[in-house]
Amino acid sequence: WGSCQMPSIKGINMTVGQEQQAGMKEKQVLEDLETHLTRRDTEALFQEQPQTGNQYLEDTLLRSYLKTHLPPKVLEEVHQDLERFGNRLLTKIQRLSWECELNPPAFRQFDAWGRRVDHIHTCSAWRRMKEISAEEGLIAEAYEKRYSNWSRLYQAVKLYLFSSSSGGFSCPLAMTDGAAKVIESLGIPGSLKNAFDRLTSRDPEKFWTSGQWMTERRGGSDVANGTETMARKQPDGTYRLYGFKWFTSAADSDMALTLARIADAEGQCTQGSRGLSLFFLRVRDEEGKLNNIQVQRLKDKLGTRQMATAELWLQGARAELISAEGRGVAAISNMLNITRIHNVIGAVASMRRMISLSRDYACKRVAFGKLLKDHPLHMQTIARMEVQVRGAFLLLMEIVRLLGLAETNLATEQEQLLLRLLIPVAKLYTGKQASAVAVEAMESFGGQGYMEDTGLPVILRDALVLSIWEGTTNILSLDVLRSLAKSQGQVMAVFLSTVQVSPQLQPCSASPWQSLLW
């Protein structure tokens, strides 16, 4: 105890009660001193939480890219909006994201009186994310084309900033964007105008999200042989769908696009991809009742738990045929391209989030007598991850730049070929990369990276789906081969010449492009 002076009670005449009271006081003083010292020692073990500020202002690569590529007038408007959005993400939206994780969707099949209701309950934070998505024009921006060919890139940047704070809402946005793209590619027929207007609305009261119902019991990617859902034509020209959808993400969406086989008068269906047609359907009617759909259960997933993914029985769901009969796969291909790009956005955003937190932690955490940032080996690890995410970011920006040109009829034939090649390549590359970076970044936090309440394991779990959803590695590889074969090798020639001469790709994007070349 060193020089600590304890109160002396010797030499004083006391009663027995007084002696007991003095002894208790002496014991209490000893306990207080011991507790104080114990707490002081424990407090020294606490670690400071890593934090980030305005994601837009702190992302120097993003700001540099926009300054280099955007026309000055566009840059001025976009910069102001992105700075505002970054502040909104920091002060309002990030906490909603954590609420979505803590309050996943719940399924109630029957009410108290035994009536089947099939109600999927989502938390208020999830519903607020839908409103914010409309307010920020996260879908609308790409279709309003306020900035001509730069509108798609601007939308991608907002989605990139939103993704890691969206509480999983980026997934329904991907399918919503894809559905809007399909309807636009069909010329926005009159029967679908209301749906298109709602999918691209900035009004939270009108905004719809869309599902993408393709996966059935026989599998996901092999839609030609795996789709069993049957469509029966009705006297009024609509169709009734019968089948089982094994994996429907964002089951709380307002509408969906789905594939089915049209039955003839004898009930026979054409097999293979030539028998598939594309349908539009509302999930619920105006009163909120399901459209002859039964929810079997919600999926118990490793990650993306914030979003309701369900198994659905279609038992005569009313639907509208929107593609030419037997041309469903071709019609929905636009949706797949958009959702794959969203997958890339989510992957790059996930990596950026993990590295930003890791860098901030390195400036706060002391180990072996100095900050982590002063340990060369630790910083080398972070630097390697930083190179990867920068390369992936620039690859993403190149894809959405090309998409913007294609959507405004400004893309050359070579640029269209390059876009066709890069979408599956980037989806493959960044999907695998995101999981690896998440694991490496978690390790940079030591044991804290493994603690559930830090939020870091959530990022890892959600990243693992990125190499699976919208095509696994082998499926994407075969897609690349198809693009090479269909163009008779012209795609590869365009790719090689672009890598060698394109000024916007050379300064700091060596990592992904060299990897693709290897």
Nearest Cα to Cα of residue 136 among 229, 202, 205, 59: 202
C-alpha–C-alpha distance, residues 251 and 262, integer Å: 24
Concatenated DSSP letters for 463-508? HGGGGTTT--HHHHHHHHHHHHHHTTTHHHHHHHHHHHH-TTTTTT
Instruction: Kindly tell me the sign of the dihedral angle through the C-alpha atoms of 383, 386, 388, 391.
Output: negative
- pLDDT beyond 70 at 510: no
What confidence category does residue 332 fall into, taking pLDDT thresholds of 50, 70 and 90? very high
What pLDDT score does 215 carry? 87
Give me the chain's average pLDDT, please: 90
- pLDDT beyond 60 at 38: no
Q: For the beta carbon of residue 250, count every other beta carbon within 10 angstroms.
A: 25
- pLDDT beyond 90 at 374: yes
- pLDDT beyond 60 at 203: yes
**SS3 state at 272:** coil
What pLDDT score does 504 carry? 52
What pLDDT score does 2 carry? 44
Which of 18-27, 187-196, 376-385 comes out lowest in average pLDDT?
Answer: 18-27
- Identify residue 217 by its one-letter amino acid code: R
3-state helix, strand, coil in the chain (%, to 5): 55, 15, 30
pLDDT tens digits, one per residue of 452-501: 999 999 999 999 999 999 999 999 999 999 999 999 999 999 999 988 87
Catalogue the long-range contacts made by 83-86 (C-beta closer than 8 Å, 24 or more residues apart): 83/54, 83/56, 83/57, 85/56, 85/136, 85/158, 85/161, 85/162, 86/54, 86/55, 86/56, 86/57, 86/161
What confidence category does residue 1 fall into, taking pLDDT thresholds of 50, 70 and 90? very low
C-alpha–C-alpha distance, residues 483 and 3, integer Å: 82
How buried is residue 416: exposed, middle or buried, by Cβ count under 10 Å (0-12/13-18/19+)?
middle
341 and 399 Cβ atoms separated by less than 8 Å: yes
What confidence category does residue 14 fall into, taking pLDDT thresholds of 50, 70 and 90? low
232 and 240 Cβ atoms separated by less than 8 Å: yes
What confidence category does residue 216 fall into, taking pLDDT thresholds of 50, 70 and 90? confident
pLDDT tens digits, one per residue of 462-475: 999 999 999 999 99
What pLDDT score does 47 carry? 77
Distances (CA, A) of 505 to 498, 500, 513: 9, 9, 9
Mean pLDDT of 294-316: 96
Which is the CATH superfamily of the domain at 329-498?
A: Butyryl-CoA Dehydrogenase, subunit A, domain 3 (1.20.140.10)
C-alpha–C-alpha distance, residues 328 and 279, integer Å: 8
Share of the chain above pLDDT 70, in %: 89
- pLDDT beyond 70 at 59: yes
What confidence category does residue 48 fall into, taking pLDDT thresholds of 50, 70 and 90? confident
What is the DSSP-derived secondary structure letter of residue 50?
Answer: P
381 and 440 Cβ atoms separated by less than 8 Å: yes
For helices 151-163 and 376-407, give the axis angle rounded to 10 degrees.
140
